[in-house]
Every structure is written in C-alpha cells, then in structure tokens.
C-alpha cells in the first residue's frame, strides 16, 4: 500500500476588525521571516493585497497559501513545519489577537487495489446502497474516510480548537494535540485498514 501526504490547513477565526490587513505587504512578510527570495518566494502573479483581504501564494516546495480576511486567518501547506513557521512570523505582527475558533486539518491518501471497496463497502447493509463515507468522532475532532478515486482512500483528520487562544499562545502540538491525534489515526490505519 502506498501513502501520499496531502495539504494541511490551519483555519482560525477572530472577531471582525481585530487584524489590520493593510499591515501585510511583501516587505513585511520578508521582515517577519515568512517570505524570502530563495526558498519561500511569493508568487506575485497570484498575489492579492487589499483592505478586504490578503491572498498570498508561495512558489516554494511546500506550496503554501496564506489567506487573511477581516475575521479569519487560513494557512495551507504540504508541511506542518511550514505552517508553524508562518504562525511564528505572524505572532510578531498579530500576537495579541484572540481566536475564538479554529481547526487544523491534515489529509492523506492510502492507495491500494480496491482499498475503498474493502474498507467502505464492508459496512454496507443494504444490497442497493453502498457506504461512501465513514465519519469517526472523538469530542469535536473527526476522521473522515471516503473514496477519492479508483483505489484511493482519502483520510481527513480534523482537530478543533477547544478554547479561545491568542496567537502568541498558539503552538500546534500543544494547542491541537497534533501528535497524539496523528498517532490515533496511524493506529486506525494499522489495525482497521491495513491489518498489519
């Protein structure tokens, strides 16, 4: 079986108007250590900076995207480490901003011959219906399993922010329990999907 890591997304919501989007510029992102001229170049063709929002795509290995609106902050990347780097840079600018909700999502594909059929359709109880989605829940957190293509099982882990937190206090591992939640997902894959 082949495993393919996909995009990770951190979404944070705050009270509208608590962030001054006009503070964001190419120069400011470089000053904060979020962008540079070599490894983390800003894709200026897709760059959108304005009073209503900032849409920044990076031309880098982890294919990052940063979106800031009047009430939310979203970072998407192939790398959790890169999400942490962007957050650490933004702390210098927006550290005191308090977030009242948030979500960290990781995605991956498991690829193997007829894997979605073996995993999902085993739970079907009616001959005319098939299971196309399984959702597992632990408190606010969820794991979704669904067929994403021929022989591809998509696993989406969604970890919710439990308490209000300022950006200064945000640490992905401590705030979201990323390591322990990922270990639970790996255990699920091992015991229920691959049966290793």
Q: What is the pLDDT of residue 57?
A: 96
* Cβ proximity of 104 and 172 under 8 Å: yes
- Write down the pTM of the prediction: 0.92
Residue 196 pLDDT exceeds 60: no
Per-residue model confidence as pLDDT tens digits over 46-88 = 999 988 899 999 999 999 999 999 999 999 999 999 999 999 9
Question: Residue ranges per domain, the chain?
Answer: 2-190
* Cβ proximity of 39 and 30 under 8 Å: no
Mean pLDDT confidence for 132-136: 91
* Cβ proximity of 53 and 72 under 8 Å: no
* Cβ proximity of 105 and 144 under 8 Å: no
C-alpha span between 116 and 177 (Å, rounded): 28
Residue 136: pLDDT band (50, 70, 90) is very high
Q: What is the pLDDT of residue 132?
A: 84
Q: Locate tokens 């591809």: which residue?
A: 152
Residue 120 pLDDT exceeds 90: no
Measured over the CA atoms of residue 189, residue 172, residue 52 and residue 54, the dihedral's sign is negative
Using CA atoms in the order 65, 87, 106, 73, what is the torsion angle rounded to 10 degrees?
A: -60
Percentage of the chain exceeding pLDDT 90: 82
Mean pLDDT confidence for 109-133: 82
CA nearest neighbour of 95 among 171, 16, 162: 171
């Amino acid at each position: 079986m082949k495993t393919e890591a996909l995009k990770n997304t951190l979404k944070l919501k705050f009270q509208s108007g608590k962030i001054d989007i006009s503070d964001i510029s190419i120069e400011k992102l470089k000053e904060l250590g979020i962008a540079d001229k070599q490894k983390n170049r800003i894709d200026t063709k897709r760059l959108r900076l304005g009073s209503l929002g900032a849409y920044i795509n990076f031309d880098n290995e982890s294919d990052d995207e940063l979106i800031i609106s009047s009430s939310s902050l979203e970072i998407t990347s192939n790398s959790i480490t890169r999400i942490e780097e962007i957050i650490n840079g933004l702390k210098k600018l927006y550290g005191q901003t308090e977030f009242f909700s948030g979500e960290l999502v990781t995605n991956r594909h498991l690829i193997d011959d007829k894997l979605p059929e073996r995993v999902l359709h085993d739970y079907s109880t009616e001959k005319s219906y098939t299971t196309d989605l399984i959702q597992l829940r632990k408190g606010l957190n969820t794991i979704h399993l669904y067929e994403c293509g021929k022989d591809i099982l998509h696993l989406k882990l969604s970890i919710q922010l439990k308490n209000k937190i300022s950006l200064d206090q945000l640490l992905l591992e401590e705030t979201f329990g990323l390591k322990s939640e990922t270990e639970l997902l790996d255990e699920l894959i091992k015991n229920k999907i691959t049966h290793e």
